[in-house]
C-alpha cells in the first residue's frame, strides 16, 4: 500500500514544458553559463563531429587543468590496506572545484533531461521530476567523475595510463573518459561480470582483464597493477575530483528546476550524493538532499551514526551499483555535514520502481538507478519530509536484458500484477477446463499453464496444474484467490 498521503493536493502550476528546454536566444539556460548550448538535433552544422568535439574537449581539459594546484594524484592520497585514501586536507570539495568540473565537462557530457512523473506526483502530493542520468553517455552518471578525475591528471602521469576495478558502470565511465582523452585504460572486472557490461567496456576502448569473483578481488588486482606499472588508480567515488565531477548533476538540476525543494539520490560509496549535496549547499542551501541505499546493503546509516565510515553488515541486493561495503572517506565528510537523512529501500520496492520507470515513464533503469524512485514509492511522508518540487535521480540504466526480464516478473509479482499458483485437481476429463473456467470468470488472464502427473506428493488420480496469471493489482489478485477457494480448490501461491 502506498505510504504517501492519498489526499494531498496536486500542484496547481504544472509546467507544460520541462525547464531544461527553456533556453535563451543563444541556446543557453538563462543564468547558467557552464552549460553547452542546447541546439537543434537536426542542425548538422551546429553539431561538430564527435571526434572534433572530443579533441576540443581534450584541449579544453588541458587549458583548464591548473597543475600543480589540482594535482591530486600527487597530493598525498595514497592507497591503504582497504584501498581507501589517506587525506592531507586537500580533499574538501568546494564550489570552485565543482564549477571547474562543469566547465571541463560541458563540451563532452550530455546535459540529461528532467522529465515530469505524473504518477509519482499523484502519489507523493508534490511535483516530481526524474533526472535521467540513465541517458548519460555510457548509461550512467559515472563518466562525469571519471572524466574530471582523469583530465586533471598532469600530462606525465596520464602517460602512465589509468586503471580501475568495477563490475559495471565505473568500468564504462573510465573506459570512455580515458579514450576521449587519448589515454590508455585497463579495467579489472570480476569473472562473473555481465556480458553486455564487459562488451561495452571493451568497446569504449579499455583493456579488460577478468580477475576473481568479486569487485574487491578485482580491486586488489587493479591496485597491484597500479603499483607495478605506474598507472593511476581511478577510484569509483573516494576522490575530490570524482566528487566534483558528480556534483555537476546538482548544478544541472538547479538550472533545469530552479524551484527544486528536494533531491533524492541513489547512494553507494557516496560520490554522487556528496557532490550534489555540496553543490546545493553552496547554491541553494534550502534544498533538502536525501540519500537512498538498498536496505540489504546499507553502510551509510550506521556510518553516519558512528561518525566514521563503517562496513555494511550485509551485501545482498539486486542493486549492484549501490552495493558498496564501506563509504568513501572523501564523500563521508561532505555527506555527514550536508545530508540530514539517509533512507533505505527493500528489494520489492526496487523492482516495483524499475517497473514503474519502464511502464509509466518509458525509461529503462537498472535497480540501483531506480532507488530514488523506490524511496518515493515506499517510504512514509514523515520519513521523506518532502519539500516540492522533488527531483529523483535515475542514476543508471545499464541492465542485462536477461536480468531485466526476470526483474519485470519480480516487479509485476510484487505489485500484485502476477499470480503464480499450483492447484491439485483430480485426473478426470473436464477438470482442467473447469478450473480455467473459474479463473476466466475472475477476469485474470492466463499467461502460462503447466499440467503435471508426476510428483511423489500426488495421488495416482491427481494432477498438479501450475498457473501463471496476470492480475490488475493486489485487490484483484486477492479476489482471484478467494474465488478459487470458494470453488473448492486448494491453492498454493508461489513466491
Ligand atoms: C547506477 C548507479 N547509481 C548509483 C551509484 C552510487 O554512486 P556512488 O558510489 O557515487 O554513491 C552507482 C555507483 O556505481 C551506480 O552505478
C-alpha neighbours within 13 Å on the C-beta side of residue 372: 29
Cβ of 377 closer than 6 Å to ligand 1, yes or no, is: no
The active-site residue, picked from 131, 140, 142, 180, is 142
**Which strand (E) or helix (H) includes residue 426?**
strand 418-426
Q: What are phi and psi of 469, to 5 degrees?
A: -120, 150
* Residue at grid coordinates 542546447: 38
Contacts of 189 (CB under 8 A, 6+ apart): 165, 166, 167, 171, 197, 198, 201, 208, 209, 210, 211, 218
Return the residue whose CA atom lies nearest to atom 1 of ligand 1: 396
Looking from the CA of residue 266, the nearest atom of ligand 1 is 4
What the block records as the C-alpha cell of 280 is: 546545493
Cβ of 139 closer than 6 Å to ligand 1, yes or no, is: no
What the block records as the C-alpha cell of 428 is: 478426470
The whole-angstrom distance between residue 347's C-alpha and the CA centroid of its chain comes to 14
Cβ of 268 closer than 6 Å to ligand 1, yes or no, is: yes
CA of 270 to the centre of ligand 1 (A): 8
Dmax (CA) for the chain in angstroms is 85
Ligand 1 pocket test: pick from 83, 139, 148, 169 the residue with the most ligand atoms within 8 Å of its Cβ.
169
- Is position 426 annotated as part of the catalytic site? no
CA of 135 to the centre of ligand 1 (A): 15
Return the residue whose CA atom lies nearest to atom 16 of ligand 1: 321
Residue-range domains of the chain with CATH: 19-143+239-409 (3.40.50.1100), 416-493 (3.30.70.260)
Torsion of the alpha carbons at 265, 270, 273 and 275, rounded to the nearest 10: -150
Cβ of 321 closer than 6 Å to ligand 1, yes or no, is: yes
Terminal Cα distance for the chain, rounded = 18
CA of 284 to the centre of ligand 1 (A): 23
Question: What CA–CA distance (Å, rounded) separates 363 from 474?
Answer: 24
Cβ of 271 closer than 6 Å to ligand 1, yes or no, is: yes
Question: What CA–CA distance (Å, rounded) separates 388 from 124?
Answer: 10
CA of 86 to the centre of ligand 1 (A): 22
Cβ of 351 closer than 6 Å to ligand 1, yes or no, is: no
> Is it true that the peptide bond before 464 is cis, omega within 30 degrees of 0?
no
Return the residue whose CA atom lies nearest to atom 12 of ligand 1: 321
The active-site residue, picked from 166, 395, 413, 414, is 395
Looking from the CA of residue 133, the nearest atom of ligand 1 is 1
Ligand 1 pocket test: pick from 143, 164, 173, 322 the residue with the most ligand atoms within 8 Å of its Cβ.
322
Question: What CA–CA distance (Å, rounded) separates 360 from 340?
Answer: 30
Can you give the length of the chain in residues?
Answer: 495
Number of Cβ within 10 Å of residue 472's Cβ equals 14
Cβ of 136 closer than 6 Å to ligand 1, yes or no, is: no
Looking from the CA of residue 369, the nearest atom of ligand 1 is 1
- Is position 202 annotated as part of the catalytic site? no
In DSSP terms, 426 is beta-bridged to 462
Q: Which of 420, 416, 404, 432 is nearest to 134 (CA)?
A: 404
Question: What CA–CA distance (Å, rounded) separates 153 from 139?
Answer: 24
DSSP string for residues in 303-342: HHHHTS----S----S-GGG--SS--HHHHHHHHHH--EE
Q: Which of 351, 306, 348, 340 is nearest to 326 (CA)?
A: 306
CA of 5 to the centre of ligand 1 (A): 30
DSSP 68: T
The whole-angstrom distance between residue 320's C-alpha and the CA centroid of its chain comes to 9
C-alpha neighbours within 13 Å on the C-beta side of residue 302: 14
User: Tens digit of pLDDT per residue, the chain (495 long)?
Assistant: 333 333 333 333 323 323 222 222 222 223 222 222 222 233 333 334 444 444 444 444 444 333 333 222 222 222 322 444 445 455 789 999 999 999 999 999 999 999 999 999 999 999 999 999 999 999 999 999 999 999 999 999 999 999 999 988 999 999 999 999 999 999 999 998 888 889 999 999 999 999 988 887 898 999 999 999 999 999 999 999 999 999 999 999 999 999 999 999 999 999 999 999 999 999 999 999 999 999 999 999 999 999 999 999 888 899 988 998 899 999 999 999 999 899 999 999 999 999 999 999 999 999 999 999 999 999 999 999 999 899 999 999 999 888 898 888 777 877 788 889 999 999 889 999 999 999 999 999 998 999 888 877 788 888 999 999 999 888 999 999 999 999 999 999 986
Q: Which of 103, 87, 84 is nearest to 95 (CA)?
A: 103
pLDDT digits (tens, 9 = 90+) for 73-116: 222 222 322 444 445 455 789 999 999 999 999 999 999 999 99
* Residue at grid coordinates 501450475: 466
Ligand 1 pocket test: pick from 145, 242, 266 the residue with the most ligand atoms within 8 Å of its Cβ.
266
Question: What CA–CA distance (Å, rounded) separates 393 from 372?
Answer: 6
Looking from the CA of residue 268, the nearest atom of ligand 1 is 11
Contacts of 391 (CB under 8 A, 6+ apart): 114, 128, 129, 130, 131, 253, 257, 260, 262, 263, 264
Looking from the CA of residue 169, the nearest atom of ligand 1 is 16
The answer to whether the CB of 130 falls within 8 A of the CB of 18 is: no
User: What burial class does residue 199 get, using C-beta atoms within 10 Å of its C-beta: 0-12 exposed, 13-18 middle, 19+ buried?
Assistant: exposed
pTM more than 0.75: yes
Amino acid at each position: 500500500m502506498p505510504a504517501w498521503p492519498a489526499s494531498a493536493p496536486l500542484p496547481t502550476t504544472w509546467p507544460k514544458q520541462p525547464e531544461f528546454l527553456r533556453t535563451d536566444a543563444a541556446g543557453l539556460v538563462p543564468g547558467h553559463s557552464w552549460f553547452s548550448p542546447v541546439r537543434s538535433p537536426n542542425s548538422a552544422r551546429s553539431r561538430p563531429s564527435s571526434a572534433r568535439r572530443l579533441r576540443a574537449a581534450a584541449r579544453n581539459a588541458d587549458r583548464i587543468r591548473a597543475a600543480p594546484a589540482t594535482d591530486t594524484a600527487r597530493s598525498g592520497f595514497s592507497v591503504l590496506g582497504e584501498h581507501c585514501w589517506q587525506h592531507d586536507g586537500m580533499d574538501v570539495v568546494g564550489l570552485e572545484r565543482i564549477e571547474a568540473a562543469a566547465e571541463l565537462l560541458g563540451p563532452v557530457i550530455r546535459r540529461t533531461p528532467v522529465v515530469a512523473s505524473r504518477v509519482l506526483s499523484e502519489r507523493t502530493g508534490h511535483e516530481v521530476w526524474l533526472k535521467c542520468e540513465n541517458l548519460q553517455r555510457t548509461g550512467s552518471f559515472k563518466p562525469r567523475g571519471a572524466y574530471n578525475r582523469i583530465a586533471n591528471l598532469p600530462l606525465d602521469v596520464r602517460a602512465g595510463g589509468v586503471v580501475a576495478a568495477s563490475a559495471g558502470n565505473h568500468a564504462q565511465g573510465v573506459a570512455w573518459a580515458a579514450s576521449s582523452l587519448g589515454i590508455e585504460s585497463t579495467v579489472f572486472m570480476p569473472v562473473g561480470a555481465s556480458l553486455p557490461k564487459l562488451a561495452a567496456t571493451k568497446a569504449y576502448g579499455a583493456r579488460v582483464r577478468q580477475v576473481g569473483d568479486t569487485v574487491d578481488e578485482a580491486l586488489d588486482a587493479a591496485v597491484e597493477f597500479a603499483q607495478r606499472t605506474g598507472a593511476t588508480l581511478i577510484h569509483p567515488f573516494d576522490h575530490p575530483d570524482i566528487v566534483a565531477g558528480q556534483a555537476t548533476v546538482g548544478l544541472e538540476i538547479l538550472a533545469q528546476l530552479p524551484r527544486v525543494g528536494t533531491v533524492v539520490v541513489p547512494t553507494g560509496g557516496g560520490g554522487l550524493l556528496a557532490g550534489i549535496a555540496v553543490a546545493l549547499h553552496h547554491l541553494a542551501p534550502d534544498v533538502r538532499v536525501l540519500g537512498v541505499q538498498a536496505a540489504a546493503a546499507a553502510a551509510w546509516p550506521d556510518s553516519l551514526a558512528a561518525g566514521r565510515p563503517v562496513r555494511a553488515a550485509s551485501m545482498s541486493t539486486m542493486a549492484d551499483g549501490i552495493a558498496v561495503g564501506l563509504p568513501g572517506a572523501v564523500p563521508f565528510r561532505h555527506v555527514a555535514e550536508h545530508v540530514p537523512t539517509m533512507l533505505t529501500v527493500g528489494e520489492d520496492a526496487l523492482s516495483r520502481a524499475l517497473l514503474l520507470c519502464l511502464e509509466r515513464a518509458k525509461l529503462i533503469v537498472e535497480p540501483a538507478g531506480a532507488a530514488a524512485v523506490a524511496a518515493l514509492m515506499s517510504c512514509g511522508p514523515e520519513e521523506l519530509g518532502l519539500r516540492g518540487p522533488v527531483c529523483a535521480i535515475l542514476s543508471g540504466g545499464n541492465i542485462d536484458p536477461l536480468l531485466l526480464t526476470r526483474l519485470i516478473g519480480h516487479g509485476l509479482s510484487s505489485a500484485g500484477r502476477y499470480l503464480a499458483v499450483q492447484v491439485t485437481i483430480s485426473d478426470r476429463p473436464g477438470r482442467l477446463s473447469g478450473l480455467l473456467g473459474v479463473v476466466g470468470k475472475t477476469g485474470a488472464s492466463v499467461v502460462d499453464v503447466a499440467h503435471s502427473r508426476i510428483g511423489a506428493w500426488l495421488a495416482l488420480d491427481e494432477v498438479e496444474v501450475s498457473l501463471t496469471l496476470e492480475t490488475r493489482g493486489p485487490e484483484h489478485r486477492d479476489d482471484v484467490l478467494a474465488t478459487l477457494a470458494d470453488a473448492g480448490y486448494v491453492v498454493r501461491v508461489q513466491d
